[in-house]
């Protein structure tokens, strides 16, 4: 697996992929590489103007690429539902879903339109609802995969069921870590359910290490007029510990396309502390492997989003 690159992506002609948060960073690089390998790629993101710009960039890099844009705001369950319905109307089958979009370390507590803490809502609950709504199209696909983006931050996460929305106490980093632990646990539980139901679906997860994207500044600057300490620290260590967004997308692309990738695994860089390097199987902390928590989180997510497996997989 060492040295794996986009040149090793198997031909994706005939496959359809949806990538969330595909107008910048890891999402854009993943969409660009998948389109270059021949996939039909749907860029699902909030910013339509940025979407048009990224479509033009992909088409310039890969003339003839079949790419399109779908508006998606993961902080709105109504937007998630509408996006899933539009994709279902135009896509008889879906072969790959990359749950990539996210926000990080918002300094003060914000809520989604549905009343969820923003990081949990946008990073996790929106993707939970989107995946379940697209599940019928995924199960109609050929060897379908769902790749969900986690983070090294999952190692410090804890699912606080007593205050899931951080209403009693909000810590920007604790909330982010919880959201990224939740995305990982969702990926693992989806894989378990797929195997139990004998679906052809593979569910795995990836993390980019420390990749230079807009994530380090967008969230920390929400509600601020100047850079946060986290943003300044990130810039200080970036020359030594970081890698490009293109390099950070490799674990996602490996998980999404490699014949050697497995379900129920997390993929990340192979360097020191998994900060940068070539994709390999990454460490999942023991606390993230608690199946009772997987199940409890899944049940809470169905209740909060109003989207259930029984509805979508029927």
User: Pseudo-torsion of CA 134, 139, 143, 144, nearest 10°?
Assistant: 10
Listed in sequence order, the residues at least 6 apart from 6 whose beta carbon sits closer than 8 Å to its beta carbon are 33, 36, 37, 250, 253
pLDDT digits (tens, 9 = 90+) for 174-183: 999 999 999 9
For 211-224, the pLDDT digits (tens) are: 887 554 444 545 54
Distance CA 12, CA 91 (A): 16
How large is the average pLDDT for residues 293-304? Answer: 98
Q: Which of 124, 176, 210, 254 is catalytic?
A: 176
pLDDT bracket for residue 108 (50, 70, 90): very high
273: annotated active-site residue = no
Confidence of residue 64 (pLDDT cuts 50, 70, 90): very high
Confidence of residue 243 (pLDDT cuts 50, 70, 90): very high
Answer for the pair 94, 131: CB distance below 8 angstroms, yes or no: no
**HSE on the CB side for 102, CA within 13 Å?**
30
Asked if the model's pLDDT at residue 46 lies above 80, the reply is: yes
What domains does the chain contain, in order, with CATH numbers?
Answer: 8-312 (3.40.50.720)
pLDDT at 232: 42
CB atoms inside a 10 Å sphere around CB 52 = 13
Q: What is the residue-averaged pLDDT of the chain?
A: 92
| Res 303: pLDDT | 98
pLDDT of residue 233: 42
CA dihedral over 119, 115, 137, 88, signed as positive or negative:
negative
Largest CA distance in the chain: 52
pLDDT of residue 35: 98
Report the percent of the chain where pLDDT is more than 90.
87
pTM assigned to the model: 0.92
Secondary structure of residue 72 in the 3-state scheme:
coil
């Amino acid at each position: 697996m060492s040295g794996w690159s986009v040149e090793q992506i198997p031909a994706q002609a005939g496959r359809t992929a949806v990538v969330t948060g595909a107008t910048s960073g890891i999402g854009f690089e993943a969409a660009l590489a998948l389109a270059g390998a021949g996939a039909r790629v749907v860029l699902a993101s909030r910013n339509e103007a940025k979407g048009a710009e990224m479509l033009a960039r992909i088409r310039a890099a890969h003339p003839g690429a079949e790419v399109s844009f779908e508006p998606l705001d993961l902080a709105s369950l109504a937007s998630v539902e509408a996006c899933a319905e539009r994709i279902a109307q135009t896509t008889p089958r879906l072969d790959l879903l990359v749950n990539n979009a996210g926000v990080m370390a918002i300094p003060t507590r914000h809520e989604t339109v549905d009343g969820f803490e923003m990081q949990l809502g946008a990073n996790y609950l929106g993707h939970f609802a989107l995946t379940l709504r697209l599940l019928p199209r995924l199960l109609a696909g050929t060897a379908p995969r769902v790749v969900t983006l986690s983070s090294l931050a999952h190692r410090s996460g804890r699912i606080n069921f007593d205050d899931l929305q951080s209403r009693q106490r909000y810590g920007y980093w604790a909330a982010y870590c919880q959201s990224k632990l939740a995305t990982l646990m969702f990926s693992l539980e989806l894989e378990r359910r797929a195997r139990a139901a004998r679906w052809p679906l593979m569910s795995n997860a990836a993390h980019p290490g420390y990749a230079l994207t807009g994530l380090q500044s967008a969230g920390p600057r929400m509600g601020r007029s100047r850079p946060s300490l986290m943003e300044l620290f990130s810039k200080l260590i970036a020359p030594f510990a970081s890698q490009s967004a293109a390099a950070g997308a490799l674990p996602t692309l490996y998980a999404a396309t490699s014949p050697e990738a497995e379900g129920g695994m997390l993929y990340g860089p192979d360097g020191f502390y998994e900060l940068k390097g070539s994709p390999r199987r990454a460490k999942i902390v023991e606390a993230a492997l608690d199946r009772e928590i997987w199940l409890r989180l899944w049940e809470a997510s169905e209740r909060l989003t109003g989207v259930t497996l029984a509805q979508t997989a029927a």
